[in-house]
Chains A and B, each alone.
Chain A
């Protein structure tokens, strides 16, 4: 845009717009900041009135998140001095660490299922998208319609037959079951997004490779894939965020071994009421990776967010 353009907003306009947007952004950020800060409060500080903005930070919430604790007698505590900083925190409350909590496992499940399903949906999605983009394949035109219609079904409605199917096949509460399920949910969208990216790669590149003696398959690997890498990466991030955040299927189909973090975090309770600093600590660890991805890759996320309906 040139400076003399007729439609460049005036400086006053820019200032007013900027201020209003900044105010909205700060208000919208408050709940997130509150999650981050509550994680470093003591349980007492977290429920203080008026709400405490300035407080002495502590790792008590994080220690509570990762451990289970039991109350002990004064005598026992005196005879067993704490060995390190986290035992000290628990010791000060008159308790000792009994063992690790389940949070670590649940978080790991989220990582395994998230990355597993992302890899599968991007792998299968890229192959299918290439075929849809370059060849005449039956049902091609129904693809978008198909994606929309599978997304119209409430997850709870889909969960009924999936629940029965997984029970019959022995996939209930397994990593493999959840990975397959999330792959299927993500796959239609992944194919649609990737097809958009591959459509943009000129077909002449492949033709040149074919003339050079490559087979179709070699041309796909050596010419198309490198060109589509940005698109593949942003599709992957989008699939990962979906699988990472998903709750309805996770809460209905997993209970123990394969439970992910979203159904687990709300069940964290402390002694005498919900332990909000521990909940906030868990939420922080769970949300921060997504926030970092969003900030780093914001330009590439738009297509995924809008189902590819809006091109950059």
Chain B
């Protein structure tokens, strides 16, 4: 950091004198400003985390607060990792993650690339496209169950309009083979704009002169796309995937209101499963162990991913 003459003067002034001249010392201000934030974060972010880890080694049940708490070691962890239902949940989550990320990256990038053609009115259209992601997932997810109704739902009607399939012949959120796609569609509708916005920022960060140089070298536009556009946007795209990946790994509100995890447990993503264990079956200790496992998994995946991202950035 650059040392200004003023700071030099301040350092030369004896501490006590400096304080009486200029009110509170810098150090005091720094601490006064930072302390409330740190305290609140400790109380509501860190402390609960430690508590969760502690509970995960017990048989505690929150609906029986007065019962004895027994430490049962790693039993909860053992039970979770050998439970086949949990693996089914993980599979549902993986399906959801893979398809939402793929669709959002492809559509989001395509939209950003088109919007970057700088046609007239692109600001207006961009704003319209961004709207879904700003809305409450719970309220919107709940309304999508109406759009997905057989016969009367707008979605079924449009599908039958385009393909002549009978609109009352399928129920997007009621059938085992359709429900996983029903949640992918709504999530893609809602969050593609997010990927689009980040891609757009990436595209706009590419200086014009690179393309102009390529044009002078008579590089085809296909070649320009693969050797300039894609590599320059890639770090942004990977960032978008990181954010969306984290969000969708812990997806709860949108899906719980669309399908409630059903039919059966075909769309029971990890968060929905966790909620069932913690707040319906009240197996608090077990659910805490589950939460710790999810956190460690996500943390591990994200750290590996961030390393890869940094490599791409440095290239």
Contacts and interface: CB of A to CB of B under 8 A. Distances in A.
Given A156-B274, A291-B134, A21 B34 contact: no
A181 B48 CA distance: 12
Interface string B225-249: 0000000000010010001001001
Interface stretch (B72-80, B122-130, B171-179): B122-130
Interface string A37-59: 01000000001111100000000
Nearest to B273: A156
A229 interface: no
A152 B246 contact: yes
Contacts of B26: 135, 216
Nearest to B193: A28
A17 B128 contact: no
A286 B143 CA distance: 13
Contact of A18 (B32, B47, B120, B246): B120
A148 B302 contact: yes
A152 B151 contact: no
Contacts of A244: 136
B136 A157 contact: no
Interface string B210-228: 0110011000000000000
Contacts of B194: 305
Nearest to A208: B6
A310 B299 contact: no
A233 interface: no
B136 A187 contact: no
Interface in B251-294: 252-253, 257, 270-271, 274-275, 278-279, 284, 287-288, 290-291, 294
Give the interface size class of chain A: 35 or more
Contacts of A291: 131, 134-135
A211 B135 contact: no
Nearest to A250: B138
B153 to A, nearest CB: 8
A161 B138 contact: no
A111 interface: no
Contact of A7 (B138, B197, B212, B257): B212
A154 B252 contact: yes
B271 A156 contact: yes
B93 to A, nearest CB: 11
B138 A266 contact: yes
Interface stretch (A68-76, A87-95, A96-104, A126-134): A126-134
Contacts of B170: none
A14 B294 CA distance: 46
A269 to B, nearest CB: 12
A279 B142 contact: yes
B119 A14 contact: yes
Q: Which of A127, A218, A261, A274 has the most CB of B within 10 A?
A: A127
B52 interface: yes
A162 interface: yes
Interface stretch (B36-44, B83-91, B98-106): B36-44
A255 to B, nearest CB: 12
A291 B136 CA distance: 11
Given A124-B36, A310-B198, A210 B43 contact: no
Interface in B106-142: 107, 111, 114-115, 117-123, 125-140, 142
8 contacts: A24-B107, A28-B132, A131-B30, A164-B51, A185-B44, A210-B6, A215-B23, A266-B138
Task: Identify the 3 closest CB pairs spanning chains A and B, nearest first.
Answer: A215-B23, A157-B291, A184-B44
Interface of A: 1, 5-9, 13-15, 17-18, 20-22, 24-26, 28-32, 34-35, 38, 47-51, 124-125, 127-128, 130-132, 134-135, 137, 146, 148-165, 167, 180-181, 183-185, 187-188, 191, 203-204, 207, 210-211, 215-218, 220, 241, 244-245, 247-248, 251-252, 261-263, 265-266, 274, 276, 279-280, 282-283, 286-287, 290-291, 293-295, 298, 301-302, 305-307, 309-310
Interface of B: 4, 6, 22-24, 26-27, 29-34, 36-38, 40-41, 43-45, 47-49, 51-52, 55, 62, 65, 107, 111, 114-115, 117-123, 125-140, 142-144, 146-147, 149, 151-152, 154, 157, 167, 189, 193-194, 197-198, 201-202, 208, 211-212, 215-216, 236, 239, 243, 246, 249-250, 252-253, 257, 270-271, 274-275, 278-279, 284, 287-288, 290-291, 294-295, 298-299, 302
Given A8-B118, A13-B117, A162-B48, 4 more contacts: A154-B295, A160-B52, A185-B44, A266-B139
